[in-house]
Amino acid sequence: MKKSIDKDELIFCINCVKSGYDSYFTDGAEKIKQLIEDIFDIKVDLQDVIDLYDVNIVEEEEARLLYKEFGYD
């Protein structure tokens, strides 16, 4: 099991888990932490997950532009 993960990697993992699993399994930092540890085989600190839980990889405005560009307006 990998011992540590940097902030950018953790944000990526959180976003992947939140987008790939039903909200029932991802509606709290504790559940996200457990899924990350199970899926990615890394150890993460719960406080780090809490701090980064609402950080998105793509900002809302950028996402809106991308959806519009690909015809999802």
Report yes or no: 41 and 4 within 8 Å, Cβ to Cβ.
no
CA angle, 68 as apex, 18 and 22 as ends, to 5°? 15
Per-residue pLDDT of the chain (73 residues; tens, 9 = 90+): 566 788 888 988 898 888 888 888 888 999 999 999 998 888 999 999 999 998 877 666 766 676 676 776 5
CA distance 64 to 56: 13
Assessment of whether the complete model's pTM goes beyond 0.95: no
pLDDT of residue 48: 94
For residue 8, the model assigns a pLDDT of: 87
How many CB atoms sit inside 10 A of residue 18's CB?
Answer: 17
41: left (phi over 0), alpha (psi -120 to 50) or beta: left
